[in-house]
């Protein structure tokens, strides 16, 4: 990608695993549902586990396999993004965390 394209769109230059970059997506997911969302589902929605959706791959896998734990690296990324959100909420005095 040409450097000029990165300069015009800073989001392109930031890796998708940067907590500050994915925090808004996590926030949107969490605030748009009335049910808890597991870290595995967040990682899946953000394609942090190699882009593999729960419905793809092994047909013998249980239907609720995505409700398990994300990979260690995906879990760390999700946890850091949630920590980033909590820090922003605390700094701005928002009541939810």
For 36-92, what is each residue's pLDDT tens digit? 999 999 999 998 876 555 444 433 343 334 456 778 888 899 999 999 999 999 999
Q: Which long-range contacts (CB under 8 A, 24 or more apart) does 1-9 make?
A: none
SS (H, E, C) the chain: CCHHHHHHCHHHHCCCCCHHHHHHHHHHHHHCCCCCCCHHHHHHHCCCCCCCCCCCCCCCCCCCHHHCCCCHHHHHHHHHHHHHHHHHHHHCCCCCC
Question: Quick one: pLDDT band at residue 95, thresholds 50, 70, 90?
Answer: confident
pLDDT in tens, 11-44: 433 346 889 999 999 999 999 999 999 999 999 9
* Predicted local distance difference test score (pLDDT) of residue 51: 52
Which tokens belong to 60? 């013998």
pTM for the whole thing? 0.64
Q: In sequence order, what are the residues at sequence separation of 6 or more whose Cβ sits closer than 8 angstroms to the Cβ of residue 59?
A: none
């Amino acid at each position: 990608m040409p450097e000029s394209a990165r300069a015009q769109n800073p989001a392109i230059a930031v890796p998708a695993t940067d907590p500050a970059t994915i925090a808004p997506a996590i926030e949107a997911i969490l605030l748009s549902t009335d049910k808890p969302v597991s870290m595995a589902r967040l990682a899946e929605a953000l394609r942090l586990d190699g882009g593999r959706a729960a419905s793809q791959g092994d047909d013998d896998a249980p239907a609720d396999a995505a409700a398990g734990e994300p990979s260690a690296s995906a879990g760390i990324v999700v946890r850091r993004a949630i920590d980033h959100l909590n820090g922003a909420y605390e700094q701005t005095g928002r009541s939810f965390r």
